């Protein structure tokens, strides 16, 4: 097709007459993203400024201070990486594993699988311990595997979004330090929502995302690393193989030098500053209590309605609840009904739980008693319409 012909075809499509962007109103009660806080959206809509402007550099410092508070750490290198949570996940592998080094990954869901995939791509010596989707690891199991396998890094997901499991982390940091091993934690579905104590739990590396507990749109991935991790990074024998995610370069931009690395998403940093400010204003313990209280209200309400939850109460994740789809119910039909008729999104199961559970998220701004009541009322009144034995509903 010639250039002249292509232009003619484009004109024939009347692209210039497209209407303005329209997005329907949605209450996002799935695995993420969650709805952004209105004040965060206001900050996001501000006019951008240069990413080396002194006003922006001051804002960067604010973001780092607020992130340290939210992470509960004093780590110098604490920053929001430009990219969604998977970017910081990959950075945690790309920067700290060299070819042939051993990493031990505790896998109990989809995002453990993703860590394994990334580590293999960077040619690590990958060792995996595994639990069924819906169970957590015990301290004793983890301790045994670290002491036996002697990895350079031990990685685990704190809040597994695919299964709804909250993994206890107490004591693991001590085991890692005794065995000269870095402790890496995926906190994508826990940062800003659940108790997470980076320094106290002796976590060396951690990453998260902006679109869940921080009540922001997707696009940034908070990351933190301590001095032990910095020492390992500085002692690499080879260059970090991923230029964009190279923390030795990002350190020069987010460190005191503020040396240009890439054009930062300035508006997303406006947004995350506001999201973090709201958390600090509410107070971390109040935030944690709100999420726990609303989750328990949801769990009790679902069980009162006769629903069965996938994960034992002992290690159930407050930010993401997996509820079993009753055998007589069309799971996709009900989800689509909630979305199309009430503007409410809940998630399907992921991976091996696809079609077996719904995933209900209560994260950040969306974790409210009002949202729990609204969803429980709809489960009570609408679910009965989606029994597969009631053909008249289709």
pLDDT at 54: 92
Give the bridge partners for 103, in sequence order.
126, 153
Place of tokens 């996002």: 28
Intervals of CATH 3.90.1150.10 along the chain: 27-33+283-393
Angstrom distance (rounded) from CA 383 to CA 305? 10
- The pLDDT tens digits for 130-163 are 999 999 999 999 999 999 999 999 999 999 999 9
Looking at residues 68-89, what average pLDDT do you find? Answer: 97
- The pLDDT tens digits for 315-324 are 999 999 999 9
Would you state the structure tokens that stand for residue 365, as one six-digit string?
Answer: 């701004």
The percent of residues in the chain predicted with pLDDT above 90, rounded, is: 88
Residues 6 or more apart whose CB falls under 8 angstroms from that of 314 comprise: none
pLDDT at 5: 61
pLDDT at 394: 31
What is the CB neighbour count within 10 angstroms for residue 379? Answer: 21
**Domain spanning 38-281: which CATH class is it, in words?**
alpha beta
Local confidence band at 260 (pLDDT 50, 70, 90 cut-offs): confident
Query: Does residue 39 contact residue 274 with C-beta atoms inside 8 Å?
Result: yes
pTM of the model: 0.93
Q: Which helix (H) or strand (E) holds 243?
A: none
Intervals of CATH 3.40.640.10 along the chain: 38-281
Within its chain, how far is the Cα of 11 from the centroid?
42
Looking at residues 162-169, what average pLDDT do you find? Answer: 98
pLDDT at 257: 78
pLDDT at 17: 77
Cα dihedral: 145, 148, 153, 158 (round 10): 10
Asked if pLDDT for residue 6 goes beyond 70, the answer is no
Within its chain, how far is the Cα of 265 from the centroid?
19
Within its chain, how far is the Cα of 160 from the centroid?
9
pLDDT at 7: 57
pLDDT at 255: 80
Query: Does residue 82 contact residue 262 with C-beta atoms inside 8 Å?
Result: yes
Local confidence band at 24 (pLDDT 50, 70, 90 cut-offs): very high
* Assigned CATH for 27-33+283-393: 3.90.1150.10
Local confidence band at 3 (pLDDT 50, 70, 90 cut-offs): low
- Taken as a whole, the chain contains a residue count of 394
Would you state the structure tokens that stand for residue 386, as one six-digit string?
Answer: 């989606």
Looking at residues 118-123, what average pLDDT do you find? Answer: 97
């Amino acid at each position: 097709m010639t250039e002249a012909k292509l232009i003619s075809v484009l004109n024939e499509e009347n692209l210039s007459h497209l209407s303005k962007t329209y997005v329907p109103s949605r209450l996002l009660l799935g695995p993420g993203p969650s709805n952004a806080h209105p004040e965060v959206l206001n900050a996001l809509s501000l006019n951008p400024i240069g990413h080396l402007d002194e006003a922006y550099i001051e804002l960067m410092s604010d973001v780092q201070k607020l992130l340290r508070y939210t992470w509960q750490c004093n780590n110098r290198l604490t920053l929001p990486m430009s990219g969604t949570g998977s970017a910081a996940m990959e950075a945690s592998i790309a920067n700290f594993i060299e070819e042939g080094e051993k990493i031990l990954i505790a896998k109990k869901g989809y995002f453990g699988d993703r860590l394994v995939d990334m580590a293999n791509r960077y040619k690590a010596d990958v060792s995996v311990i595994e639990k069924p989707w819906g169970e957590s690891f015990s301290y004793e199991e983890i301790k045994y595997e670290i002491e036996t396998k002697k990895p350079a890094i031990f990685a685990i997901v704190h809040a597994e979004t695919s299964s709804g499991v909250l993994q206890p982390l107490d004591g693991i940091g001590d085991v890692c330090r005794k065995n000269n091993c870095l402790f890496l934690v995926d906190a994508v579905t826990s940062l800003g929502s659940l108790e997470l104590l980076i320094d106290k739990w002796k976590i060396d590396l951690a990453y998260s995302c902006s679109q869940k507990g921080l009540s922001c749109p997707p696009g940034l991935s908070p990351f933190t690393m301590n001095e032990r991790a910095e020492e390992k990074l500085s002692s690499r024998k080879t260059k970090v193989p991923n230029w964009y995610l190279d923390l030795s370069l990002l350190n020069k931009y987010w460190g005191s030098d503020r040396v240009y690395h890439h054009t930062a998403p300035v508006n997303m940093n406006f947004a995350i500053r506001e999201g973090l400010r709201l958390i600090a204003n509410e107070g971390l313990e109040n935030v944690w209590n709100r999420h726990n209280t609303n989750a328990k209200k949801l769990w009790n309400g679902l069980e009162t309605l006769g629903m069965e939850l996938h994960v034992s109460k002992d290690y159930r994740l407050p930010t993401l609840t997996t509820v079993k789809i009753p055998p007589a119910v069309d799971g996709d039909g009900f989800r689509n009904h909630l979305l199309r008729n009430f503007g409410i999104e809940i998630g399907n199961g992921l991976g091996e739980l696809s079609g077996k559970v719904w995933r209900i998220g209560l994260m950040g701004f969306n974790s409210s008693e009002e949202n729990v009541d609204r969803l429980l009322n709809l489960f009570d009144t609408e679910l009965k319409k989606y029994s597969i034995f009631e053909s008249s509903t289709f």
